[in-house]
């Protein structure tokens, strides 16, 4: 296979690896500080099925005291013979667990530096109040799955702060789950069927069902939500029989499972596993020999193998991710999401599906001021496009597809370079997230009766993920992938804007808006606004209606109709012509 290496030097490549892998989710943290510890109060202590746990007192944005219980094991450490296997429930502990300690992330690269520990299957629980008696009213529960391209992420509150959401009466859980080869390596057979990260999320939901009432949460009112690849995981959770009854509503934010990247076929998964084994000197003649050999390596040796699979620039960006499993009782998913949707195998639950206006910035920001890279992409589009979109197993006629994409999005290469860059970003938006998110909600409407809500986040505040994706460029590139999470789950200030910035009055209004919409949906299944001035109507295929959240610096909410009609009609016709399957 051809490897194109003319794009840049080593220093730039290392910078890009750092930017892409250390953002911890494409949605990794937001710029409004962390929840402060409230010292002048007795630490909360409760008893759950595994034993006693002592938490910590925290303070919300609006100075409400709430309780955090961090580092709770929900599965046994997936080490030794448990590596490349589904999670095993954690047992009880002796004494009192100290719930003030952050757990380590699962193994991953932060830039080019290995971080994390295989003993990582812990979750955090945040609650505004604890049960006080038999008449206590249990609160709605929200479980968040972070993103990160299926290869980075953490549940650390410095990354995903609870202090915005906990101003409302909800219980929030954030679990760690495995990623990269440790989370998704599959041999395409029963030896290592894969999807361990997804199975970790199932185990976290089972733990939630069994334990959340002790924190004041209602196990019969669980909303699972995720951003980016975390949203794709959530979407897959809705298609697996292993999650029946474990959650009751869901929210997809800038991610879905109907796109081109995943799940891998069994054949493709086996090919990647064998390539990793060959790189590390393992036998690949049988799956058992390969997996037993891979278990002898340190986690860092398995994770630090990106260069083995890179073909051009940083692509294919995602190697390890969800895969189709053999038919067994323990299987998470055994058919493609597109096939499942075509057969009407869609979970009939209330849902929200969000996209942001300029999803493609997550990748196009890497090409800012790199016209040489864009030119190389356009010159060698037929070779490079399959690496960028990873569609070689999804369509039958790749040449027709590449020709049509180039003709539609790049029909005039003599125009201003800014126009070419904007079209490049638009192309990435459509074919990595937006088109398939819209298709998800359209297809679900054919098979279910529960209300679903579609929205486009178009607000551009003081800061943006584009600052991070571009390595600190302050140019306003638009509304970037992950920007809505800045107003839901805050973290370090330094990553999303220049030193010294503060949230504007409009930014804080957007915090109030997003928290109200998301938590009201978790509470009732219907997202409502603070003042009731705008009614978010459930999606209708005939109306193609959606809520536009903001417009540039304006925080206004508006119901609109007809989302990207012309572009999506083109993609409908093209993908039918090349037999997307």
Q: How much is the pLDDT for 39? A: 62
What's phi and psi for 432, nearest 5 deg?
Answer: -105, -30
Q: Which pLDDT band, with edges at 50, 70 and 90, does 12 fall under?
A: very low
Domains observed in the chain: 13-340 (3.40.50.1820), 361-577 (3.40.50.1820)
Contact (Cβ atoms closer than 8 angstroms) between residue 157 and residue 34: yes
Report residue 343 as tokens. Answer: 């057969």
Omega before 468 cis (within 30°)?
no
By annotation, the residues acting in catalysis are 228, 359, 481
Could you read off the pLDDT of 59-90 as tens digits, one per residue? 999 999 999 999 999 999 999 999 999 999 99
Average pLDDT, the chain: 92
Q: How confident is the model at residue 457 (pLDDT cuts 50, 70, 90)?
A: very high
Averaged pLDDT for residues 43-52: 97
Q: What's the CA gap between 26 and 468, in Å, rounded? A: 10
pLDDT at 467: 85
CB atoms within 10 A of CB 267: 10
pLDDT at 491: 73
User: Picking from 148-152, 295-299, 487-491, 563-567, which range would have the lowest pLDDT averaged per residue?
Assistant: 487-491
Whether the CB-CB separation of 219 and 141 falls below 8 Å is answered with yes
Residue 258: both structure tokens together: 């109907």
At residue 257, the pLDDT reads: 97
- The residue ranking higher by pLDDT, 370 or 39, is 370
Most confident of 32-41, 127-136, 209-218: 209-218
**CA angle centred on 401, ends 413 and 354, rounded to 5°:** 90
Q: Which two tokens stand for residue 262?
A: 């995943």
- pLDDT grade, residue 38 (50/70/90)? low
89-135 confidence digits (pLDDT tens): 999 999 999 999 999 999 999 989 999 999 999 999 999 999 988 88
Look at residue 23 and tell me whether its pLDDT is greater than 70.
no
Task: Decide if pLDDT at 183 tops 80.
Answer: yes
> Can you tell me the mean pLDDT for 308-312?
95
The whole-number pLDDT of residue 133 equals 82
* pLDDT tens readout for residues 381-435: 999 999 999 998 888 899 999 999 999 999 878 778 889 999 999 999 999 999 9
Question: Taking 70 as the threshold, does the pLDDT of residue 25 lie above it?
Answer: no
Tokens of 298: 């340190």
User: Helix %, strand %, coil % for the chain, to 5?
Assistant: 35, 20, 45
Q: What is the pLDDT of residue 3?
A: 40
Q: How far is CA 359 from CA 134, 151, 351, 435, 443, in A?
A: 47, 19, 20, 11, 21
Give pLDDT tens digits for 168-177: 999 999 999 9
- Report how far residue 49's alpha carbon sits from residue 34's, in angstroms, rounded to the nearest whole number: 30
**281: Cβ contacts below 8 Å, ≥ 6 apart:** none
The closest of 175, 152, 155, 200 to 319, measured between CA atoms, is: 152
Note the pLDDT tens digit of each residue in 249-268: 999 999 999 999 889 999 99
CA distances from 246 to 125, 222, 250 (A): 17, 7, 11
Q: Is the pLDDT of residue 2 over 70?
A: no
């Amino acid at each position: 296979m051809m490897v194109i290496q003319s794009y840049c030097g080593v220093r730039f490549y290392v910078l890009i690896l750092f930017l892409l892998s250390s953002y911890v989710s494409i949605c990794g943290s937001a710029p409004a500080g962390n929840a402060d510890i409230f010292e002048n109060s007795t630490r909360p202590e409760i008893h759950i099925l595994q034993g006693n746990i002592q938490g910590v007192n925290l303070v919300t944005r609006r100075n409400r005291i709430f309780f955090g219980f961090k580092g709770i094991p929900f599965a046994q450490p997936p080490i030794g013979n448990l590596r490349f296997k589904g999670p095993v429930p954690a047992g009880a502990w002796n004494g009192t667990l100290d719930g003030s300690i952050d757990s380590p992330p699962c193994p991953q690269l932060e830039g080019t530096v290995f971080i994390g520990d295989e003993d990582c299957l812990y979750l955090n629980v945040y609650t505004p109040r604890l049960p006080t008696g038999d008449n206590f009213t249990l609160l709605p529960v929200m479980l968040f799955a972070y993103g990160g391209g299926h290869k980075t992420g953490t549940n650390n509150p410095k990354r995903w702060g609870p202090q915005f959401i906990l101003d409302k009466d909800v219980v929030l859980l954030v679990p760690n789950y495995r990623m990269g080869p440790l989370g998704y390596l599959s041999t395409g057979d029963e030896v290592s069927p894969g999807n361990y990260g997804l199975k970790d999320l199932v185990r976290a939901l089972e733990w939630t069902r069994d334990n959340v009432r002790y924190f004041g949460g209602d196990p019969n009112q669980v909303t699972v939500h995720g951003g980016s690849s975390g949203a794709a995981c959530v979407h897959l959770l809705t298609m697996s029989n292993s999650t029946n009854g474990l959650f009751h509503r869901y929210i997809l934010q800038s991610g879905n499972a109907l796109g081109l990247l995943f799940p891998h076929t069994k054949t493709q998964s086996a090919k990647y596993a064998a390539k990793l084994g060959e790189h590390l000197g393992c036998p690949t003649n049988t799956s058992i020999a390969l997996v037993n050999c891979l278990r002898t390596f340190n986690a860092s040796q398995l994770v630090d193998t990106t260069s083995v699979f890179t073909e051009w620039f940083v692509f294919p960006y995602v190697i390890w991710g969800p895969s189709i499993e053999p038919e067994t009782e323990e299987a998470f998913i055994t058919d493609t999401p597109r096939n499942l949707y075509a057969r009407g195998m869609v979970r009939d639950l209330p849902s929200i599906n969000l996209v942001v206006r300029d999803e493609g910035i997550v990748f196009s920001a890497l090409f800012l001021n790199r016209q040489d890279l864009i030119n190389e992409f356009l010159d060698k589009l037929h070779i490079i496009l399959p690496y960028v979109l990873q569609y070689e197993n999804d369509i039958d006629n790749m040449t027709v597809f590449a020709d049509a994409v180039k003709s539609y999005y790049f029909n005039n290469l003599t125009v201003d370079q800014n126009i070419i860059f904007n079209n490049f970003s638009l192309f990435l938006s459509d074919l990595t997230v937006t088109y398939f998110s819209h298709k998800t909600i359209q297809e679900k409407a054919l098979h279910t009766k529960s209300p679903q809500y579609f929205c486009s986040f178009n607000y551009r505040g003081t800061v943006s993920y584009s600052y991070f994706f571009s390595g600190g460029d302050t140019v306003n590139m638009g509304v970037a992938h992950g920007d809505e999470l800045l107003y839901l789950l805050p973290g370090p200030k330094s990553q999303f804007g220049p030193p010294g910035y503060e949230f504007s009055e409009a930014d804080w209004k957007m915090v109030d808006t997003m928290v109200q919409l998301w938590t009201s949906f978790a509470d009732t299944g219907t997202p409502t606004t603070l003042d009731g001035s705008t009614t978010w109507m459930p999606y209708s295929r005939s109306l193609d209606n959606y809520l536009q959240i903001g417009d540039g610096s304006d925080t206004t909410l508006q119901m609109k109709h007809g989302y990207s009609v012309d572009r999506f009609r083109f993609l409908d016709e093209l993908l039918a012509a090349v037999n997307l399957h």
